């Protein structure tokens, strides 16, 4: 037994928030699966780092351009991304089968440049779902106002969705209800999977910044509390939304609740524990996707203390309510975080396209 098996026994599946070609070809991901890692997530920033900061894909770029000299940079990116996602899905297939479709997923994101376009998001998601052609893939769609109807439509069509960039209870409730409506419209909801990626450390980062700007002793004492408190309140809402009274009619058709996935769980403030956002967010039917450094830290000195998510919901209420009393508008914090998150992923995607364009130009120039 490893600590990743222990945390799974307590209710939380740990996924790996990173993907790169060598991890797939050299047995790295297979080794993590053996150790108890149960899924993989990706985003434009991860692919940007994988392709721009390594030579792993240079031969593929050369071969692709030799086969199709006029290949666009977007086509290059998709060929690499789809190949990697398929390979990861195949490695994770044993987890998917063993868990009866609860775990063993890998995520691929629609272009973040489409975050404000519902119809384009739906079209892109359909295309990527068909291109990857694996049952254990989740298509990532941001929880923007335009993303909510796209999520409902895709779930209704039987496409697995990872809803990303969720920061507030309002964001979360809107996408959870869209998921439920999608299931109600689905012909067979029993094999549809979805997670709601609720971001954590970024909440603390921006909230702490604003508390520091206030600067009073009372404000400073609230630093480092918002991320965990906000997540616990989201989990309480999850239990309400997917309880027997509200979800029983769909559970009778074999549908599964949309699991909460804790994202952005790498600790950004060195004053906080490097496993804070893993140890404090353990609870039934949840996922924690963590970057490599956090995985290593949790392996080395993490502790599983049981279902910490279920502890002190009253304290979580009080922590969020206290922000307003010192002059921090938490609704504005979470709205800003979603706006910044969409912009950051779009910037990473554009940077990736620029890098591929440069590398393709070098190949074409000989």
DSSP characters over 128-167: HHHHH--TTEEEEEE-STTHHHHHHHHHHTT--EEEEEE-
Strands 194-199 and 39-40: unpaired
Is the confidence at residue 364, as pLDDT, over 90? Answer: no
Beta carbons of 15 and 38 less than 8 angstroms apart: yes
Compute, in degrees rounded to 10, the torsion defined by CA atoms 244, 245, 249, 253: -10
Q: Considering the entire predicted model, what is its pTM? A: 0.95
Beta-bridged to residue 166, according to DSSP, are 198
Confidence category of residue 92, pLDDT binned at 50, 70, 90: very high
- pLDDT tens across 201-217, in order? 999 999 999 999 999 99
Is the confidence at residue 135, as pLDDT, over 80? Answer: yes
DSSP type of residue 190: G
The single residue of 49, 140, 268, 359 carrying the catalytic annotation is: 140
Strands 137-142 and 105-109: parallel
Q: According to the model, what pLDDT value does residue 58 have?
A: 85
Is the confidence at residue 276, as pLDDT, over 90? Answer: yes
* Mean pLDDT on 193-197: 98
Q: According to the model, what pLDDT value does residue 7 have?
A: 98
Phi-psi region of 33 (alpha: psi -120 to 50; beta: other; left: phi over 0): alpha
Is the confidence at residue 366, as pLDDT, over 80? Answer: no
Tokens of 16: 């790996």
Q: Which domains does the chain have, with CATH numbers?
A: 3-358 (3.20.20.70)
d(CA 230, CA 144): 19
Is the confidence at residue 99, as pLDDT, over 90? Answer: yes
Q: According to the model, what pLDDT value does residue 67 have?
A: 87
Confidence category of residue 365, pLDDT binned at 50, 70, 90: confident
Is the confidence at residue 52, as pLDDT, over 80? Answer: no
- pLDDT tens across 19-33, in order? 999 999 999 999 999
DSSP type of residue 314: H
Q: Match 């203390």 to its residue by tokens.
A: 305
Percent of the chain past pLDDT 90, that is, above it, reads 84
At a CB cut-off of 8 Å and minimum separation 6, what does 209 contact?
none
Is the confidence at residue 247, as pLDDT, over 90? Answer: yes
Is the confidence at residue 56, as pLDDT, over 90? Answer: no
Active-site annotation holds for 49: no
* Mean pLDDT on 139-162: 98
Confidence category of residue 234, pLDDT binned at 50, 70, 90: very high
Q: According to the model, what pLDDT value does residue 249 have?
A: 96
DSSP type of residue 305: -
The closest alpha carbon to 279, from 31, 32, 6, belongs to 6
């Amino acid at each position: 037994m490893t600590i990743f098996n222990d945390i799974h026994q307590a209710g939380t599946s740990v996924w790996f928030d990173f993907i790169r070609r060598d991890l797939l070809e050299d047995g790295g991901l297979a080794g993590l699966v053996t150790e108890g890692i149960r899924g993989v997530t990706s985003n434009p920033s991860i692919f940007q780092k994988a392709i721009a900061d390594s030579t792993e894909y240079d031969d593929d770029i050369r071969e692709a351009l030799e086969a199709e000299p006029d290949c666009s940079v977007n086509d290059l990116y998709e060929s690499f991304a789809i190949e990697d996602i398929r390979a990861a899905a195949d490695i994770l297939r044993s987890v998917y089968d063993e868990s009866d479709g609860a775990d063993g997923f890998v995520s691929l994101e629609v272009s973040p440049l489409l975050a404000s376009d519902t119809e384009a998001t739906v079209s892109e998601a359909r295309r990527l779902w068909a291109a990857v052609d694996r049952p254990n893939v989740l298509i990532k769609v941001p929880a923007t106002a335009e993303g909510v109807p796209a999520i409902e439509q895709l779930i209704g069509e039987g496409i697995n969705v990872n809803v990303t960039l969720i920061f507030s209870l309002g964001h979360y409730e809107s996408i959870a209800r869209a998921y439920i409506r999608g299931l109600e419209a689905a012909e067979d909801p029993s094999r549809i999977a979805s997670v709601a990626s609720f971001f954590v450390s970024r909440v603390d980062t921006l909230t702490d910044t604003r508390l520091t700007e206030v600067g009073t002793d009372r404000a400073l004492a609230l630093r480092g509390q918002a991320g965990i408190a906000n997540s616990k309140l989201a989990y309480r809402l999850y239990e309400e939304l997917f309880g027997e009274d509200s979800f029983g009619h769909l559970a009778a058709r074999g549908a599964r609740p949309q699991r909460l996935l804790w994202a952005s769980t790498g600790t950004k403030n060195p004053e906080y524990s490097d496993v804070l956002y893993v140890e404090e967010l353990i609870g039934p039917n949840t996922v924690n996707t963590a970057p490599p450094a956090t995985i290593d830290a949790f392996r080395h000195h993490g502790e599983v203390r049981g279902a910490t998510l279920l502890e002190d919901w009253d304290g979580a209420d009080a922590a969020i309510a206290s922000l307003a009393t010192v002059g921090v508008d938490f609704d504005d914090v979470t709205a800003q975080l979603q706006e910044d998150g969409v912009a950051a992923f779009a910037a990473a995607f554009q940077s990736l396209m620029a890098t591929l364009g440069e590398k393709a130009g070098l190949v074409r120039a000989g």
